[in-house]
Amino acid sequence: MEAENIITTEELTKRFAGFTAVDAISFNVKKGEIFGFLGANGAGKTTAMRMLCGLSKPTSGKATIAGADVYKQTEQIKKSIGYMSQKFSLYEDLTVKENIRFYGGIYGKTNAFIKEKTAFLLHQLNIENEADKLVASLPLGWKQKLAFSVAIFHEPQIVFLDEPTGGVDPVTRREFWNLIYQASERGITIFVTTHYMDEAEYCNRVSIMVDGKIEALDTPRGLKETYNATTMDDVFLQLARKATRADV
């Protein structure tokens, strides 16, 4: 039996003054999937993602996240998702532990839960010794991994990752993806945007956005077959060349 859809969108559109950032996109994401959301800069990825997170109201179309409507039930959506933005989102002037405690707290987790989960998380990331250091003093790769762990700390059903591995080295990226797999195995749906085509290969399914529209959506293997390409890079280049919109 096929897994149920956790994200559904139908003709989802966002227009800014005289400019259609997201143009009637329709797709579904299944529970437990790792869904790659690709596109060139300015294709509308971040805008689409912000609508799905309830940060931005769609102009038209429908979308539900874990059964909640993006127009009316944004508060419910917020309880069931985690989010890691492009910009680094932890407080640099708080320690590792304080950041974890803060985010755990605002999702309404009990002190016992926070304590137990923090110990586990520190161990998992192997940063027990840094627990009381300011986040500002950590290397970028560690911060990214920590930010991801914090984003799924409250055990959300879905986690949205907006270019989570920008600017980190291949080894750290590898470790980062291991964390993603672990989360996925626990049943968390992963919705990730990225520029790295090798990362696209790690996803169960990949969509490619061009000029606000979804041009392709399939498994990485399926895409390569359709476009007769050997790598995801080729697939991406073939599609992205069609773009008419300027790089924003």
Partner 1 sequence: MRTLQFLLQKEFRQIFRDPAILRIIFVMPMMQLLILPWAADYEVKNIKLVVVDHDHSDYSRQFVSKVTASGYFLLNTYTSSYSEASQQIADDKADIAVEIPARFEKDLVKESEAPVFLAVNAVNGVKAVLGAAYLQSIIQDFNNGIRAKWIQMPRLSPEPNIEVVSSNWYNPLMNYKWFMVPGILVVLVTMVGSFLASLNIVKEKEIGTIEQINVTPIKKYHFILGKLIPFWVLGLIILTIGLLISYVAYGIVPAGSFFTIYVFAAAYLLAVLGLGLLVSTFCSTQQQAMLISFFLMMIFILLGGLYTPIESMPTWAQWITRFNPVTYFIHVMRFVILKGSSLADILPQLCIILIFAFVLNSWAVINYRKRA
Footprint on this chain of partner 1 (rule: CB under 8 A): 50, 53-57, 74-75, 78-79, 81-94, 98, 101-103, 105-108, 160
Which of helix, strand or coil describes residue 104?
Answer: helix
Identity of the residue, 39 or 54, whose beta carbon is nearer to partner 1 in the bound complex: 54
Least distance in angstroms from the C-beta of 177 to partner 1: 22
Residue nearer to partner 1 on the CB measure, 165 or 208 = 165
Q: Which residues contact 137 (CB under 8 A, 6 or more apart)?
A: 130
Give the helix, strand, coil percentages of the chain, each rounded to 5.
40, 25, 35
How far apart are CB 115 and partner 1 at their closest, in Å? 14
Q: Which residues pair with 84 in a beta bridge?
A: 161
170-185 helix and 140-151 helix, angle to the nearest 10 degrees: 10
Kindly tell me which of 91 and 227 has the beta carbon lying closer to partner 1: 91
Instruction: Name the E strands within 52-165.
Output: 60-65, 68-69, 81-84, 158-162
CB of 103 vs partner 1, minimal distance in Å: 7
Tokens 């579904």, located at residue: 28
Q: How far is the CB of 11 from partner 1 (least distance, A)?
A: 20
